[in-house]
Amino acid sequence: MVRSGQTGGVTDLLLLNGEPLRTVDTALLRATSYGHFTSMQVRAGRVDGLDLHFDRLDRSSREVFGRPVPADRVRADLRTALDHAGSGDLSIRINVFASDGEPSLLIRVSPPIDPGVRPPRLLAFEHERAVPHLKHTGTFDLVYYGHQAEAAGYDDAIFHTTTGEISEASIWNICFARGTTIVFPAAPVLPGIRQQLLQQGLPDFETTPIPLADLASYDAAYLTNSIDPALPIASITTRQATTTYAAHAPSRDAITKAYTALRPQPI
């Protein structure tokens, strides 16, 4: 079984179609380079938006491979992963690939990850991901721009279109606040699970183009993904200016209320 370092009582492991892997051969590495995935944080055997993860995997598999991945199959492999891990508190990534036409599930189990606590400073890049609506395995560009931002003294990258509209960050969706109204970019992005959950919980929200020139008109900005439900942003730097954001209780409370209205789903 392929394992690496251990943290918090959970040891990294890989399962392929529900069976633990003892070795990883080069054929598997080649096959997994073309596919899609979803990542989730598991707490006490439950996942926020588990049904949305199932829908993402099935919908993406139908588009990429022309074959479904039923929720019952994914759930069964997840339960096997939890059994092998011996814990209900985990980080899980499910990769879907196809080496013989039929989709295969490669599940990586690792220790749980706590949300960030320090508001990040973001550096803006003109960049649009290929096939942005899919959470595909082509993530080189995301890592590349993240490293470029860090090399320039920032915490991570944020992207804008060629027309100057904010879209998303390297591994996060982004939203902005005017008072208690939460605003999402209209540019093409990956519809993250947390973003979908947040939109479900909010009484109302807006989706509209967010030009770089309008960044200073918002009271706050937040990053959201499976690890960070709503990480406040400290600043966004573009070629023209740096916009800073202070803590903003009204929008923070609105987002917290939206999330607490939802319940995690058992695996």
Q: Could you report the per-residue pLDDT of 229-265, keeping only the tens digit for each? A: 999 999 999 999 999 999 999 999 999 999 998 999 9
CATH of the domain at 79: 3.30.470.10
Q: What is the pLDDT of residue 195?
A: 97
Mean pLDDT within 47-69: 98
For residue 139, give Cα distances in angstroms to 53, 72, 134, 230: 19, 28, 11, 22
Q: Examine the domain organization and report whether 257 and 132 are in the same domain.
A: yes
Does residue 205 register a pLDDT over 60?
Answer: yes
Q: What is the pLDDT of residue 29?
A: 74
Domain count, the chain: 2
Does residue 2 register a pLDDT over 80?
Answer: no
Mean pLDDT within 159-183: 97
Token representation of residue 48: 């926020």
Q: What is the pLDDT of residue 22?
A: 80
Give yes or no for a contact between 8 and 111, defined as CB atoms under 8 angstroms apart: yes
Mean pLDDT within 88-113: 94
Q: What is the pLDDT of residue 100?
A: 81
Q: Is residue 2 part of a domain?
A: no
Give yes or no for a contact between 156 and 150, defined as CB atoms under 8 angstroms apart: yes
Q: Is residue 206 part of a domain?
A: yes
216, 222, 215: which is closest to 252 by C-alpha?
Answer: 222
Q: Examine the domain organization and report whether 200 and 86 are in the same domain.
A: no
Q: What is the pLDDT of residue 9?
A: 67
Does residue 6 register a pLDDT over 60?
Answer: no
Mean pLDDT within 67-88: 97
Mean pLDDT within 71-88: 96
Q: What is the pLDDT of residue 8?
A: 52
The residue that leads in pLDDT, 27 or 260, is: 260
Does residue 5 register a pLDDT over 60?
Answer: no
Does residue 7 register a pLDDT over 70?
Answer: no
Q: Is residue 8 part of a domain?
A: no
Domain that holds residue 82: 13-110
Domain boundary among 44, 78, 110: 110
Q: Examine the domain organization and report whether 246 and 140 are in the same domain.
A: yes
Q: Examine the domain organization and report whether 100 and 174 are in the same domain.
A: no
Mean pLDDT within 90-94: 97
Mean pLDDT within 129-137: 96
Q: What is the pLDDT of residue 25?
A: 75
Amino acid (1-letter code) at residue 44: A
